[in-house]
Amino acid sequence: MLTLFINEYLKLLLILTPFFVLSVFLSVTRDLSLAERHRTAIKVTLAVAVITFAIYFFGHYLFRLFGITLDAFRIGAGAVLFLSALSLIRGSTDEFAGGCEQDVTVVPLAIPVVVGPGTIGVLLVKGAQSLSWKQEVVTCLALLAAVGTVGALLYLGTRVERLIGQKGLTIMTKLVGLFLSALAAQIFFTGVQNFLKLT
């Protein structure tokens, strides 16, 4: 179970693209004081936790509602996640940059920066899979740990930026993008393989 937890945790953490999220967070909150940044980081973490667990537990009802098969959604989610990975590799946070005249906790930070289309797709696929109650508990704990890690990274964002610098954040974001593209390909080809078996 520990191996499953570690595997799920690492996959979910990659899907949440922590270093890209941190880059955007620092850009969007650049005019805030350290205390305000900390409060925003906590609120973003709570918002992301609520959103991701809601998608994970209730998203599979969308499959029933629209009559979509799990493998068809795997193919779609894999393709969207791959496009997200490409945008990370090319990398730009300019579209989210700007002041903080409005509350940025839910939009754009929680959605779509942390929980983007690729993340939503993967969570929907995971939530629709048939798992034992032990696997379900481990996956939920892994998701909670991944969201908590992203939250901690945001909370310590100023220190992390000082430690590795903006160039370091850019490099880490691109590396996450590369790993994410491989994960996207795996999800996509699993869907294609299963789909071909049924035809």
At 101 the pLDDT is: 52
At 92 the pLDDT is: 61
The structure's pTM equals: 0.88
Domain count, the chain: 1
Inter-residue long-range contacts of 159-166, CB under 8 Å, 24+ positions, other chains counted:
160/22, 161/22, 161/26, 166/23
Give me the domain span that covers residue 67. Answer: 2-198
Cα dihedral across residues 162, 167, 170, 172: positive or negative: negative
pLDDT tens-digit series, residues 63-82: 788 888 888 889 998 998 89
At 94 the pLDDT is: 57
At 33 the pLDDT is: 92
How many whole angstroms separate alpha carbon 103 and alpha carbon 47? 13
Amino acid at 75: I
Q: How far lies 190's CA from each of 4, 15, 130, 132, 167, in Å?
A: 19, 17, 16, 21, 35
Regions of the chain short of the pLDDT cut 70: 92-102, 199
At 96 the pLDDT is: 60
At 66 the pLDDT is: 86
